Each structure stands twice: as structure tokens, then as C-alpha cells.
Amino acid sequence: MTEGSSEDRDFRTVAQPFGELQRFGPITTDLAIPERALAIGAHPDDIEIGCGGTLAKWAASGCTIHHLVLTDGSKGTWDPGQDLASLVATRQDEQREAARRLGAGEVGFLGWPDGELRNTIREQWEVCRWIRQIRPDIVFGHDPWRRYRLHPDHRNAGFVVTDALVAARDPQFFSDQDLAPHRPAALLLWEADVPNHVENVAGFEAVKIEALLAHRSQYETTLGIRDTEAGGAAQAPEEADGFAGRIHRQLSEHGALAGMDLGESFHRIEI
């Protein structure tokens, strides 16, 4: 998640009244553990925010988890003097560590400039190629239809994924890839405008929190944690506890949609 976009910090403000949202049919729960899953986020840290608990739960049961990050995260700082090449490298290292903490495997970076992601044939081609190569049973992504979403990367990332999924399942799309078409079973969209599916993540909340804390460069700008040492090397215990409390409250609100103690909610689309 790129910093400064407070309307997208569902985990931080815990302000969106999920229980009052319009529901699209009944709420389903807990898919069968898939063999492979692919989570596609606009920036480093978006995946952990959106579905970190679910990925940790599935990985613990043997699912192979892949991350794909679409932008370089180069605007993830409030320091106008920041060396951006160094920041990009740092954010990639943080993302790999976060994925490791979740139990995930491969992390891919497509490297489009932060803030400049667009939903064009080029982006769709690249994401389609990843889907066809990895052949996931389930794909995760941003909900591009969430109302009043300002950040263009989150909105465009969601549409890139939906459009690439349509292409990936049809052999007449991007036939130059010389890859067999692939149709995942479902798409799960996080930060859903209209949630209709909840995954029970009780017992995996601590893993989600630890994965998010791997994104040290984003403590102040995105996670709302005040650093206590120069360079973001550490944080005060009360800051970390406050952050953990915010995550726990968010998971409680999501879980309440399906009568669970802790959950992550999504809009589920059958492919």
C-alpha cells in the first residue's frame, strides 16, 4: 500500500461498518484448502493487509502461496530526499520477508512505477502470463469496484486482475505466450465493497501481524507505527501493541459477518 491514502487503510482506521454493507447473496465461508493460490497486490504490503491471515492459514495446511506485486513501491516514503532506488530494493526485501513469515513461496515483482499503474493490454498480458504459468486454484486481488477509492494503483490493479483472468482462461487471448489457458476456481477480492465470503483466520492473526511488521519502511506512512530509532529499526512496545489491537479489531469486524471471532472478508467471484 502506498502511504498517505487513509481511505484505503481499512486495517488502520477500522471505520468501515462491514455489518451495514449491502450483501450480495448469502455469506459463504472457508473454501477447501487449494493446492495453489496467487495473491496479486498493487504495492508491497497490500497482500498482507488484504489477505495475510487467509494465506497463512492455507500455507499451514500445505497450499503453495505465490505473491505478485505490480508496482515498485517507489513512492512509499514521506521523505523528499529519499534515495528511491534504495527504497525499491528495501521494499522488495521486506516483501520477501513478509511472504516468508506467512509461509509463502515465490514473490514476483512487475516493477511498474508506483502511482502510474494502468489497466492496459501490456499489464494484462503480464498478469495473464503469471496466471497461466502458476496455474492457481484461487486468485486474490483488490476490489476495483470499492466505492470512493481514490488510489489509482489499487483501482487499476483490481481491473488488471479481473481482465487478465478472463484472458487467462481463453486460448484465443495472448496466444503468443505459448502457454495453455488456465481457469482458476474463484477470485477473492479484499477490501470488498460488498463482501459475500469470509475466511476464518482465528489462530493466524499473529502471523498476519508479524508479516505486516516486516514492512519496516512503511511503519509511519502506512502502518501508523511511530519509530523509536533512526531508520525505523525498532518501535516502542506500546506502538506495536496498538497496531496489533487495530488488526485484531478489524478481523473481529470481518468475522462478525459470518458469526466468527476473527475473519477476513472478500467478494468471491466464480471464474
Model confidence over 235-255: pLDDT tens digits? 556 677 889 999 999 999 999
* pTM assigned to the model: 0.90
Residues of the chain with pLDDT > 70, as a percent, come to 87
Strand bridging mode 186-190 / 263-270: antiparallel
Average pLDDT over residues 143-155: 94
Average pLDDT over residues 124-131: 98
Residue 25 has a pLDDT of: 72
Residue 60 has a pLDDT of: 98
> Rounded to an integer, what is the distance from CA 120 to the centroid of its chain?
21
Residue 232 has a pLDDT of: 45
Architecture of domain 36-270: 3-Layer(aba) Sandwich (3.40)
Beta bridge partners of residue 187, listed in sequence order? 139, 269
Beta bridge partners of residue 68, listed in sequence order? 40, 108
| pLDDT above 60 (res 9) | no
Residue 174 has a pLDDT of: 98
* Average pLDDT along the chain: 90
Model confidence over 51-109: pLDDT tens digits? 999 999 999 999 999 999 999 999 999 989 989 999 999 999 999 999 999 999 989 99
Residue 221 has a pLDDT of: 87
In the chain, domain spans:
36-270
Please report which confidence band the pLDDT of residue 261 belongs to, taking 50, 70 and 90 as the band edges.
Answer: very high
Average pLDDT over residues 133-154: 96
Model confidence over 199-238: pLDDT tens digits? 999 999 999 999 999 999 999 888 888 765 544 444 556 6
Average pLDDT over residues 120-139: 98
Beta bridge partners of residue 188, listed in sequence order? 140, 268
Average pLDDT over residues 267-271: 96
